[in-house]
Amino acid sequence: MVPNRVISYDIQENRWLRRIIDFYESELDTFTKLVSESKKIIEKEITSLRPYQNIKSNQLEVNSRLLLINQLESYEMVTQKILKISNIVKSQSWYHEISQLKDGYIPHVLVMDTRYSLMYKLYQELNNNEFQIRLDSEYSHAWKLTNKLYEIWCYIRICRMLIGENVNFRAKEWIFDNKKNTFLVPMLMPGTCMEFTRDNCLLKLYYDAIIPRNSNKTNLESNPIYTVESHNRPDARLDIYLNGTYMRSIIFEFKYRTIKNFWHRNNSTSYSQIISYRFNTISKFTQGLPQKIAREVRAVSEVWVFHPTGESENAEQKIEKTDEGIKLIRLKPGEDHSNIAIELNRLIERIIGVGE
């Protein structure tokens, strides 16, 4: 009797190979979707900035975002190359004979044979909880400038204050979830709005939203205010409603600078910007009053300017400064911000108290 020689590819190292390919294809699919969504967001930001390219700072913003688009497209190209390699392996007839990996036994071939060891090392790195994606310094700088990171952090801190025990509002939809094994790009689109409710009070917190320069472009629901000055894009704006009636707004500016560098009459841009938000912002909807009277009421109750400085500068910079409804407040990571949240709640209570 002549024995039949049967070649079986359903061996442990090949089962591992299949596990590894299935795993990194799933990871790459998630990564590809993330890159695609990020590109859409950046492209929208570029579109919104292009009409103002004659302003030098906006041109720099456009250029940095174009750099991001190029970098993300290079990631897409690398991803496609990797997937082509795995498709070549999967197209082999023997690949479909391989069963699922049922135990974690690691054969020596998986480690010693270079055909398998490279794939296995990739799998180990992807499964490593300390694995990090490192970007080159130029890309990291373009991705989020330090002042932009501070803006985003401040916006999120305000959101957390509003839902914290000192203010106690409820977020209609929380967009900053950090779920396990989820990679979240810390990017906020200009015009992003978070809504918060408490009893019959509604808050709408906008990030980097444009304020119209004409009353005809305002509306009660999403743009109740307008300005007669050139400064019309605050870092954040909190519109406050009571029983569906627009009451007033609080404007926030986030300055990643020392107080003396932005709160000085000689610094015409920053100083006039802050003053303008307080005194030159109008609404025809304020407190549900007749339009003519509503326009006479200052729509912006206060302007809060957050800055991270004061620890090593003048002692007076540690103290909150107030001037005609303008507050300069140190907001710094790692510090207790409960006193700021309490003050914010007092201001909200005072604004909605007008309608009670």
Q: What is the pLDDT of residues 26-46, one digit of tens each?
A: 888 888 888 888 888 888 878
CA gap 182, 101 in Å, rounded = 25
Residues 74 and 94 in one domain: yes
How many structural domains are present in the chain?
2
Upper half-sphere CA count for residue 17 (Cβ side, 13 Å) = 24
Place of tokens 């743009």: 223
In a domain, 1, yes or no: no
In a domain, 36, yes or no: yes
Q: Report the percentage of the chain scoring pLDDT > 70.
A: 81
Mean pLDDT (whole number) for 119-125: 78
Q: What is the pLDDT of residues 188-217, one digit of tens each?
A: 778 889 999 999 999 999 999 999 999 999
CATH of the domain at 292: 3.40.91
Mean pLDDT (whole number) for 294-323: 73
Residues 201 and 99 in one domain: no
Is pLDDT at 265 greater than 80 in this prediction? no
Is pLDDT at 313 greater than 70 in this prediction? no
Residues 33 and 107 in one domain: yes
Residue closest to 67 by CA, chosen among 144, 132, 133: 144
Residues 50 and 74 in one domain: yes
Q: What is the pLDDT of residue 311?
A: 53
Residues 130 and 227 in one domain: no
DSSP string over 167-193? T--EESS------TT--------TTEE
Boundary (domain end) residue, out of 123, 140, 157? 140
Q: Which of 67-76, 207-216, 238-247 has the highest mean pLDDT?
A: 238-247
Least confident of 186-200, 240-254, 263-277: 263-277
Q: What is the pLDDT of residue 101?
A: 87
Residues 317 and 184 in one domain: yes
Compare 30 and 252 and report the one with higher pLDDT: 252
Boundary (domain end) residue, out of 98, 114, 140? 140
Q: What is the pLDDT of residues 74-106, one digit of tens each?
A: 889 988 988 888 898 888 888 888 888 887 788
Q: What is the pLDDT of residue 138?
A: 41
Compare 107 and 241 and report the one with higher pLDDT: 241
In a domain, 7, yes or no: no
Boundary (domain end) residue, out of 140, 171, 202? 140
In a domain, 2, yes or no: no
Residues 46 and 184 in one domain: no
In a domain, 3, yes or no: no
Q: What is the pLDDT of residues 176-190, one digit of tens each?
A: 554 444 434 446 778
Q: What is the pLDDT of residue 181?
A: 41
Is pLDDT at 141 greater than 50 in this prediction? no
Mean pLDDT of the chain: 82
Residue 122 structural domain: 12-140
Q: What is the pLDDT of residues 152-178, one digit of tens each?
A: 889 999 999 999 999 999 998 766 554
Q: What is the pLDDT of residues 327-339, one digit of tens each?
A: 999 998 888 899 9
Residues 126 and 100 in one domain: yes
Residues 277 and 198 in one domain: yes
DSSP string over 75-127? HHHHHHHHHHHHHHHHTSGGGGGPPPP-S----HHHHH-HHHHHHHHHHHHHH
